[in-house]
Amino acid sequence: MGGVSQTARIVGRMPTFTREEIEHLGDLARIALTDEEITRLQGELNVIADSINKVQEVASDDVPPTANPIPLEAYLRPDVAETPLTQAEALSGAPKTEVGMFVAPRILGSEE
């Protein structure tokens, strides 16, 4: 198969983005783009497309796809039952309490 990955064969070369396509993307996203922004985005998106093409050129079927080059493992602490804080312990550090609850200043106007 010539060392070219299945993805590269399917996708082929990504096209360069035209000014009209950038304007269309802006319309789809409902973003008003200035001429300067369109020019800048066109250049940035074409650099991204070129980078994808370079990766596809070297990716072969013997290179497995991966999201991260370093295997990540989730760290899980041992699931050991612990005695939770009592209400009094939880409230002990609060600056103000009332009827077994934290009291905090009102941040919104009065609710009438």
Q: Mind listing the pLDDT tens digit for each residue in 7-37? A: 444 344 556 889 999 999 999 999 999 999 9
Round to whole Å and give the CA distance between 5 and 60.
Answer: 4
Position 8 scores a pLDDT of 42
Do the Cβ atoms of 53 and 14 come closer than 8 Å? Answer: yes
| pLDDT beyond 80 at 78 | yes
Tell me what percent of the residues of the chain surpass a pLDDT of 90. 50
Domains in the chain with CATH codes: 11-64 (1.10.20.60)
| pLDDT beyond 60 at 70 | yes
Tell me what percent of the residues of the chain surpass a pLDDT of 70. 84
Round to whole Å and give the CA distance between 101 and 97.
Answer: 5
